[in-house]
């Protein structure tokens, strides 16, 4: 039993490290505020996963965790306090959601109240910290639902977005959001299994975190494998200067704008009402004019060349 739990945690640490590196890269390059908000919350959880694993190891091997549990409480408080920051930092990300001002204020009020309540419990009255574990776990779940749910709602309700906008990163946000929401019951069940069978009674819901990291890591792996070139060069934009320099036609510019934002040839043909052969012909003409052989080479020019 203990070997299974430790393997579960080690897998979360290894996969989480890879996911953090991808998350930081996406955060630096994406223009999607909802995705940035989710990535900040995701990255801030990682120290908590490491501390939780150390606590697991101590409990399973009958080693006194000493002050380790206190540090687990403190990191939980730190993450809870981090939620108001993301709410304020990306408050404009809610602008397309109905009653966005009210939603933002309610979320901010709840997160600040929970953060202050827990921090006071740890610092002013450490003996009362256990009383706040349940509310803090609720805050963690609310934070994930807040990031995931807002991403889903915003992406579904956004109707006025230009067709040439970077819809690929919107799809990243909504996919990760749905995965997060759908996986919560599963990981809560895993944590309940720890509580009832393995005898680890003190995590009070925090056991969802390792599984959460494993799932997001798998999602990022699929993302990079399927759309590697778009993830590597997400800031590519077809500018007027680029169009003038290489003497692109209006149709070629339109098709390339879709292409660099992650759209497939079939999708471009459907959106523009033209044949697949026509799309491929225009793309071939652009490759010839710019002197490149592939989409990756074209993205390099768009991303790194000032035109």
Domain boundary among 184, 205, 232: 232
Looking at residues 35-64, what average pLDDT do you find? 69
* pLDDT(250) > 60: yes
What is the per-residue pLDDT for 21? Answer: 73
Residues 2, 139: contact at Cβ < 8 Å? no
pLDDT digits (tens, 9 = 90+) for 84-115: 555 555 555 555 444 555 555 555 555 555 55
- Are residues 295 and 162 part of one domain? no
Alpha-carbon distance of 173 to 32, in angstroms, equals: 8
Work out the number of other CB atoms within 10 angstroms of the CB of residue 157: 10
Q: In a 10 Å sphere around its CB, with 0-12 CB exposed, 13-18 middle and 19+ buried, how is residue 185 labelled?
A: exposed
- What is the helix (H) or strand (E) element at residue 116, kind and residue range? helix 100-123
Looking at residues 33-59, what average pLDDT do you find? 69
Work out the number of other CB atoms within 10 angstroms of the CB of residue 21: 11
Residue 212's domain comprises 2-232
- What is the CATH number for 268? 1.10.10.10
Highest mean pLDDT among 137-151, 191-205, 206-220: 206-220
- Are residues 73 and 20 part of one domain? yes
- Are residues 150 and 27 part of one domain? yes
Residues 205, 191: contact at Cβ < 8 Å? yes
- Are residues 167 and 57 part of one domain? yes
Domain boundary among 232, 264, 287: 232
- Read off the tokens for 254: 């339109």
- Are residues 124 and 207 part of one domain? yes
Q: Is the dihedral of CA 189, 203, 139, 44 positive or negative?
A: negative
Query: Domains in the chain: how many in total?
Result: 2
- Are residues 154 and 87 part of one domain? yes
* pLDDT(281) > 70: yes
0.75 surpassed by pTM: no
What is the per-residue pLDDT for 75? Answer: 62
Q: In a 10 Å sphere around its CB, with 0-12 CB exposed, 13-18 middle and 19+ buried, how is residue 23 labelled?
A: buried
The distance from CA 218 to its chain's CA centroid, rounded to whole angstroms, is 12
- Are residues 85 and 202 part of one domain? yes
- Are residues 272 and 159 part of one domain? no
- Are residues 34 and 163 part of one domain? yes
- What is the CATH number for 146? 1.20.1070
Domain boundary among 213, 232, 251: 232
* pLDDT(274) > 80: yes
- Are residues 220 and 108 part of one domain? yes
Confidence of residue 15 (pLDDT cuts 50, 70, 90): confident
Looking at residues 53-79, what average pLDDT do you find? 63
Q: Is the dihedral of CA 177, 112, 52, 197 positive or negative?
A: negative
- Are residues 292 and 226 part of one domain? no
- What is the helix (H) or strand (E) element at residue 204, kind and residue range? none
- Are residues 254 and 125 part of one domain? no
């Amino acid at each position: 039993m203990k070997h299974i739990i430790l393997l579960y945690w080690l897998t979360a640490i290894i996969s989480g490290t890879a996911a953090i590196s991808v998350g930081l890269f996406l955060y630096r390059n994406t223009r999607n505020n909802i995705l940035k908000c989710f990535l900040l919350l995701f990255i801030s959880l990682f120290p908590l996963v490491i501390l939780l694993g150390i606590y697991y190891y101590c409990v399973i091997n009958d080693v006194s965790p000493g002050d380790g549990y206190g540090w687990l409480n403190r990191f939980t408080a730190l993450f809870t306090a981090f939620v108001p920051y993301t709410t304020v930092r990306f408050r404009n990300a809610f602008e397309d959601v109905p009653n966005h001002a009210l939603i933002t204020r309610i979320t901010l009020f709840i997160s600040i109240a929970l953060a202050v309540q827990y921090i006071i419990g740890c610092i002013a009255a450490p003996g009362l910290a256990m009383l706040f574990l349940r509310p803090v776990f609720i805050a963690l779940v609310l934070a994930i639902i807040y990031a995931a749910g807002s991403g889903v709602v915003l992406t579904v309700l956004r109707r006025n977005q230009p067709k040439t906008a970077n819809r690929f990163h919107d799809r990243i946000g909504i996919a990760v959001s749905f995965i997060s929401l759908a996986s919560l019951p599963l990981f809560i069940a895993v944590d309940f299994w720890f509580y009832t069978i393995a005898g680890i009674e003190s995590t009070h819901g925090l056991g969802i975190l390792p599984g959460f990291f494993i799932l997001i890591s798998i999602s990022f792996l699929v993302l990079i494998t399927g759309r590697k070139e778009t993830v590597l060069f997400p800031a590519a934009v077809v500018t007027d200067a680029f169009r003038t320099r290489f003497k692109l036609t209006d149709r070629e510019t339109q098709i390339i704008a879709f292409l660099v934002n992650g759209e497939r040839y079939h999708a471009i043909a459907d959106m523009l009402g033209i044949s697949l052969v026509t799309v491929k012909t225009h793309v071939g003409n652009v490759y010839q004019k710019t002197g490149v052989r592939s989409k990756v080479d074209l993205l390099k020019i768009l991303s790194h060349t000032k035109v």
